[in-house]
Structure 1
């Protein structure tokens, strides 16, 4: 029964011991964060209140703060043209933020496609689907390199033609339902073909932000790993489960910190662990109970 629970209902022990809200704290906070970011852009076209103009690729907040996706900025450079000075400033601000706090927090706390892939992962667990084969985890880095090469060859930011983040945001704001076929394809792929296939194996944005934040300050630690009872709930809910083992099981490292650049700092391992093994900390905290 325990093994079955870990596959289909991970976190049930945490809900029993901590209560539903405490066992889903970071999940709820992430959804609030993602919804808030979207609403900042939607208030303009929907209600005429322009808090943030543009989209997640390039925006101007309160007509003062420019923000530019550094991945888009690098694509522009590869395509052979220098963006405006405001785009340069915006990219520098975003780079500094994610380099400090963790590049892949973009994936867990900002990216709207994360909601789609999280639902796909939940459905896959509930249906008990185990079939399918995911691409090698390094595939996303090849896709990243390919997108930059394509920009250099074509002289355009090719990735933005098919970027699901941009497509989903535009669809939600402007009602372009036809373009949601790309989002449905990602959802179907994650459910029917490969668990966490898009975010964990193919998305070049995840690869880019992982590289950007690989030395970031904010980390999750398994500082209470001696309490672990091997329930596997953290592995079941983690979008990048390979990042847990080195810290939790001392597999190749003594540090309890999850240092892998692919960690999204989503906090789900903290949520579902009723033994309180995991916590947020900083990269210089090496304390451990074992």
Structure 2
């Protein structure tokens, strides 16, 4: 089981590096707007397979890993998320600003590399705040995918008959998408889950699967 998990983890890293490379090529060629086509494809896939764009394709999520590693090595703790930033209204405000910026710049004939700008903002943001706030609060792409993935037939799920209520799966989850039930068992919120498999990798009883 460890070899299988390790193989999946390695495959995920390879996929992330490939798409990060594609993102950088588009950025330096001045064609970053083409990345929106990649996102649209990810949004369509999320209708069936969940937020795989977030877990495997998104360049921001790929960059978060070395940032988290560096922060851990330096002993820097992220700032606690202010309470008002957890309200759904803040999420809609962020996505409103995103689309508003797109419309304004288009009307003014200004070509802004919005995917590149958002990636830069995300890196600065995660340097100071908890990663989950970006995934399920600030990121406009994440907000869109959280709605489309509600219809997904597939996703990460906890087999409650196998779960031993240890809670190990909650710590590595970058989106804080795992709830504790009254029975002390765990359940994954599909709209917030990034399908990154981090929870499955640490589950000692293999109660978490993508199905």
TM-score (ref. length: structure 1): 0.56
Aligned residue in 2 for 1:30: 12
3-state DSSP class of the match of 2:204?
coil
Alpha-carbon offset, residue 236 of structure 1 = 1.7
Aligned residue in 2 for 1:213: 149
For 2:103 and 2:25, locate their aligned partners in 1 and report how far apart those are by CA, in whole Å.
36
Judged with a 3 Å threshold, the aligned counterparts in structure 2 of structure 1 residues 131 and 32 are, in CA distance, closer, same or farther, namely closer
Unmatched segments (≥5 aa) in structure 1: 1-17, 47-52, 59-67, 71-92, 169-181, 282-290
For residues 99-140 of structure 1, the C-alpha deviation after alignment (integer angstroms, 9 at most, x for no partner) is 1111x2111110111111122233444555445122326333
The answer to whether residue 139 in structure 2 is matched with residue 203 in structure 1 is: yes
The partner residue of 2:194 within 264, 267, 281 is 264
The partner residue of 1:136 within 59, 64, 86 is 86
Judged with a 3 Å threshold, the aligned counterparts in structure 2 of structure 1 residues 251 and 141 are, in CA distance, closer, same or farther, namely farther
- Larger deviation: 104-113 or 232-241? 232-241
> How does 1:1-290 map onto structure 2 within 5 Å?
19=2, 21-38=3-20, 55-58=34-37, 69-70=39-40, 95-102=43-50, 104-134=51-81, 135-136=85-86, 138=88, 139-153=90-104, 155-156=106-107, 161=112, 163=114, 165-166=115-116, 183=120, 186-191=122-127, 193-196=128-131, 197-224=133-160, 226-230=162-166, 232-241=167-176, 243-245=177-179, 249-251=180-182, 258-281=188-211
Alpha-carbon offset, residue 147 of structure 1 = 1.9
For residues 130-171 of structure 1, the C-alpha deviation after alignment (integer angstroms, 9 at most, x for no partner) is 45122326333321122223444554499x8363x4369xxx
Aligned residue in 2 for 1:62: none
Q: If you compute each CA radius of gyration, which structure gives the higher value, 1 or 2?
A: 1
3-state DSSP class of the match of 1:161?
coil
For 1:41 and 1:194, locate their aligned partners in 2 and report how far apart those are by CA, in whole Å.
24
For 2:25 and 2:112, locate their aligned partners in 1 and report how far apart those are by CA, in whole Å.
25
TM-score (ref. length: structure 2): 0.73
3-state DSSP class of the match of 1:279?
strand
Alpha-carbon offset, residue 42 of structure 1 = 7.5
For 2:150 and 2:92, locate their aligned partners in 1 and report how far apart those are by CA, in whole Å.
14
3-state DSSP class of the match of 2:112?
helix
